[in-house]
Amino acid sequence: MTRPIIFRPMRSTAVRPDTRILDLWRLELAGYQGLALEWSRRSRLAVLVAAIAITGASLSAHDMWMEPTTFTPEAGKIIAVRLRVGQDMLGDPLPRDSGLIDQFVVIDSSGTRPVVGRERADPAGLLQVPVPGLAIVGYSSHPSQVVLEADKFNQYLADEGLDAIAALRTERKQTNAPAREAFSRCAKSLVLSGAPTEQQKDRVLGFTLELVTERNPYLMHANDELPVRLLYKGQPLAGALVVAMNRVNPMAKINARTDASGHARLRLNQRGMWLVKAVHMVPAPPGLDAEWASYWASVTFMLGDAAAGSATR
């Protein structure tokens, strides 16, 4: 379902790039087959691509996720992180926009540091993996506004399992009315350098809506269950729809509802890149020029026995 959008970032945050990482990235580009050629061809078009992406219909589609150039980098390497907006894992670039970014960080055993990048660039971020281990890349956005026609908003509520909001609109006699929404993105990606271990854990980054994997996916195999926990403002969120999809066959979605403790279990039935997502919506708090506030959480990773040496396409 495509969501027509009026796209207006609501706050602005200045981001100072780390020029050392950017300079190192230029040297690393030659190590990624095809990426250097893509970068050179597209660099002159970066501003144009950004403008098209922001105003185009693709940005109004449902999901936002992160795709690193590889999920399994060697220690010391620099990787790029692409932001994607789309549906069923078919996404268009979301170039870096410092006015839209609330947080863009990476956390690993060496600490927490910002994911740097050039304004309006795709990939939107660059990071170095200094030591072996599991790194958690996190991106959260400021809210942006969208106005949806009644039928499209109602379908969107049905698609995302937002039954409580649909019922509330019926109670308020708003079912046939357009909706003003402020939406925010809360995306994570799990990147592994070196061998996976049981001690490597996902971490809570403090996003408004956040999916936390409770098992290292790089130790998993096809048909294993992945336990996840969904948090809203740091507290377990019950009754939310959690959806997992695989890049090879994204239409074969795996769905589960969170229990009273915010937990859901997803049996991931094939190898490759996975996207797990959830959406939560509430009446908009004071200060937002909207009726509804929605939060879109996602986490991407490579299933364990497909991970070694793999990169996103």
Per residue in 55-102, pLDDT (tens digit) is 333 344 479 999 999 999 999 999 999 999 999 999 999 999 999 999
What is the per-residue pLDDT for 10? Answer: 47
pLDDT above 70: residue 144? yes
Digit-coded pLDDT (tens) for 116-138:
999 999 999 999 999 999 999 99
Digit-coded pLDDT (tens) for 2-33:
444 444 444 444 444 455 555 555 544 444 43
Q: Which range (31-35, 228-232, 279-283) has the least confidence?
A: 31-35
Mean of pLDDT values over 151-159: 96
Asked whether the beta carbons of 257 and 236 are under 8 A apart, the reply is no
> pLDDT over 70 for what percent of the chain?
78
Token readout for 130 is 């200094």
In the chain, what is the straight-line distance between the N-terminal and C-terminal CA atoms, in Å?
24
CA distance 170 to 168: 5
Scored b (16 or more CB within 10 A) or e, 276-301 reads bbbbbbeebeeebebbbbbbbbbbbb
What is the per-residue pLDDT for 304? Answer: 74
Treating both helix axes as pointing N-terminal to C-terminal, what angle do 150-159 and 163-171 enclose, rounded to 10 degrees? 140
Mean of pLDDT values over 34-39: 41
Question: Rg for the chain (alpha carbons), in Å?
Answer: 19
pTM for the model: 0.82
Asked whether the beta carbons of 19 and 13 are under 8 A apart, the reply is no
Token readout for 9 is 């970032």
CA distance 189 to 127: 13
What is the per-residue pLDDT for 62? Answer: 75
Looking only at the bridges linking them, the beta strands covering 101-108 and 133-141 are: antiparallel
What is the per-residue pLDDT for 2? Answer: 43
Asked whether the beta carbons of 3 and 155 are under 8 A apart, the reply is no
Mean of pLDDT values over 172-191: 97
Beta bridge partners of 107: 112, 136
Query: Look-up: residue for tokens 């959830």?
Result: 278
What is the per-residue pLDDT for 19? Answer: 52
CA distance 215 to 198: 8
Burial of residue 35 (number of CB atoms within 10 Å: 0-12, 13-18, 19+): middle
